[in-house]
Amino acid sequence: MLPPHRVVIAAFPGVEVLDITGPAEVFSVATRVACTGRPGYVVHIATADGGPVATSSGIRLIADLTLDEVNGHVDTLLVAGAVHVGDDDVEPVLDSEIIEWLGEAVPRTRRTGSVCAGAHLLAAAGLLDGLPATTHWLTAAQLASAHPRVTVDPDPIFIRAGNLWTCAGITSGMDMALAMVAEDHGPDLALDTARMMVMYVKRSGGQSQFSVPLAVPVATGDRIDDLRVWIGEHLTEDLSAEALAARLHLSVRHFSRLFRERTATTPAAYVESARLEAARRLLQDSDLSLPEVAATSGLGSVESLHRSFRRRLGTTPAEYRRRFR
């Protein structure tokens, strides 16, 4: 029996509880469903003082060891994250003890990853310079501003750059952990683990953090929000600005101004985004041909499908299907 993979999750006061327990449960379940003779995982929580740590939800977790006690080789080091929510903004929490310790711990770690706002700690330690990275969409702009040498992409669920991984908000840590299980043991064990956990099987790193409707906050009773719901249910209909304006009994000019004020985008750009998202789901989850995907998503023709994918995603529909199916 080979020894288990050693996973250490670095935590600090105020950390998001699911940043820790989510990946830990993935590794635990993978260990339980692994075949006999295959190494599983042993997970330890490390804090500065080794004592109980209060999470943002108020739940207290018991650390297994102090940061200084994390000796020897570590297979996987995960850095959990936390944010401080103020009246007008959201700020990532930067724990100075974790940041200082990372410089010593990462060189003897095979694989390092951050969960949610934990990317800010990796960046503060200089570990993401020159690399692509992601984090929770709420703090992605702050990460890019504070660390211009990091190529921040706020859209993907997770990004792997060599032995450094970063992921988006909270539950995406479980998706990243599943990808690590797949890297260690193959996709079959990752799939069995996801099924055991009743997880969406299985979100690839390049998928978006949130869907088009979720990209704009919903206001109850707002006519534009009601229209956005209707658009999502009628993607194959005439969704020109003229047709949408007529549906709300507004002039095209007045409608376009209201739509941009509410969504920060134009009606045409929003419709294309909604249709593109539908096409992405069809490519991932169905066996429809490209002409069928184009027709069902409302993009109309294969040529329009290709144009949207190249312009918005920098790839082709066929390549997207090969990558994410």
Q: What is the CATH number of the domain that holds 226?
A: 1.10.10.60
In a domain, 113, yes or no: yes
- Pair 70, 46: CB distance under 8 Å: yes
201 within a domain of the structure (yes/no): no
Q: What is the pLDDT of residues 232-263, one digit of tens each?
A: 899 999 999 999 999 999 999 999 999 998 88
The C-alpha atoms of residue 131 and residue 162 are separated, in whole angstroms, by 9
The H-or-E segment that residue 161 falls in is: strand 158-161
- pLDDT of residue 82 exceeding 80, the answer is yes
Rg (CA), the chain: 22
The DSSP output letter for 200 is: P
Tell me the average pLDDT of the chain: 89
- pLDDT per residue as tens digits for the range 85-95: 887 788 999 99
Give residue for tokens 């003897």.
108
C-alpha to C-alpha distance for 74 and 41, rounded to whole angstroms: 11
Q: Which residue, among 139, 131, 93, has the nearest Cα to 112 in the 3D structure?
A: 131
Task: Find out whether 139 and 148 touch, Cβ atoms under 8 Å.
Answer: no
Share of the chain above pLDDT 90, in %: 66
Its pTM stands at 0.68
Residues in CB range of 318: below 8 A, 6 or more apart: 290
The DSSP secondary-structure symbol of 36 reads T
Q: Is the predicted pLDDT of residue 78 greater than 90, yes or no?
A: yes
Domain housing 279: 213-324
At 298 the pLDDT is: 96
Domain edge (last residue) among 196, 222, 247: 196
The reply to whether 179 and 219 lie within a common domain is no
Q: What is the number of structural domains in the chain?
A: 2
Instruction: Assess whether pLDDT exceeds 60 at residue 209.
Output: no
Q: Residue range 127-146: average pLDDT? A: 93
Structural domain ending residue among the three candidates 166, 196, 226: 196
What is the per-residue pLDDT across 255-308, written as a single tens digit (0 to 9) for each?
999 999 888 889 999 999 899 989 988 998 889 999 999 999 999 999 999 999
Domain check: are 217 and 192 in the same one? no
Question: Is 22 in the same domain as 147?
Answer: yes
